Amino acid sequence: METQTTAENLYNEKGEKHGYWVQYQAGKLWNKGHYLNGKREGYWEDYYTTNGQVMRKCNYVNDIEDGYFELYHHNGQLQCKNYFVNGCMADGILEFYYDNGQLAIKSTTINGKQEGIEESYYRNGALMSKGNYVNGSEDGYWEWYYPDGRLKFSANFVNEELIPIWGYFEDWYSNGRLKSKGNYVNGKREGDWKEYHSNGRLKMKGNYVNGKLSPIQ
């Protein structure tokens, strides 16, 4: 990748980047910060070359992210902020935001993995989903909501497997075709259900009452 240098961009006696650097791509500001013997050191900023907005602010120690970190959307709105320790996200709350400034996801990171409750939101601020993580994987009870606040679906995750509890459910084959669809009530199939073969052909259509199938004639 070609870069354009300016007068302040210097090298040490080994030919390594050293000191304060400002770098460009196709004449557009790309990033700026300090090098120490060829490695990024201290505060750096990266930019969107399309509009000149700051894309990322980050601190480096020996070319590794370490310290305060901020990521921005193309329009300049904050996308996320956190701390890094030796290249890994520090323990604590992690928040992501939409480009309109509205909170999108709030979670907690421990030892580089999600732990505890995660909440996600629609662009208008309404709750989209809420559930628990253990060691970086969904675990336990989860809920999903419609934008108007009505419950859309709920399920338990057990050993990373989703077990439906209530609401409309769809399951899909790895080729992208629909496998089954229907509703759950209290963890059991209820009402009309359809199942399909992996080629898309209807496999079964039936009605369930309290989890028991009564085939439709």
State the pLDDT at residue 112: 84
Assigned token pair, 123: 């662009």
State the pLDDT at residue 19: 94
Contacts of 134 (CB under 8 A, 6+ apart): 115, 140
| Mean pLDDT, all residues of the chain | 92
Rounded Cα distance, 92 and 213, in Å: 47
Contacts of 83 (CB under 8 A, 6+ apart): 67, 68, 69, 89, 90, 92
Encode 131-141: b = buried (16+ Cβ within 10 Å), e = exposed.
bbbeeeebbee
pTM (2 d.p.): 0.78
Which phi and psi (to 5°) does residue 68 adopt?
A: -65, 140
Q: Is residue 211 part of a domain?
A: no
Kindly report, residue by residue over 76-100, the tens digit of the pLDDT.
Answer: 999 999 999 999 889 999 999 999 9
Q: Is residue 80 part of a domain?
A: yes
Q: Is residue 71 part of a domain?
A: yes
Count how many domains the chain has.
1
pLDDT at 8 over 80: no
Domain of residue 33: give its range. 1-90
Closest C-alpha to 195, from 209, 207, 212: 207
3-state secondary structure at position 68: strand
* Residue 7: pLDDT band with limits 50, 70, 90: low
Q: Is residue 26 part of a domain?
A: yes
Q: Is residue 119 part of a domain?
A: no
pLDDT at 1 over 60: no
Q: Is residue 168 part of a domain?
A: no
55 neighbors 46 (Cβ within 8 angstroms): yes
Assigned token pair, 99: 């480009």
CATH of the domain at 47: 2.20.110.10
What is the Rg, in whole angstroms, of the alpha carbon atoms belonging to the chain? 25
Contacts of 105 (CB under 8 A, 6+ apart): 94, 95, 96, 118, 119, 120, 121
For the chain, what percent of residues have pLDDT higher than 70?
A: 95
DSSP-derived secondary structure letter, 76: S
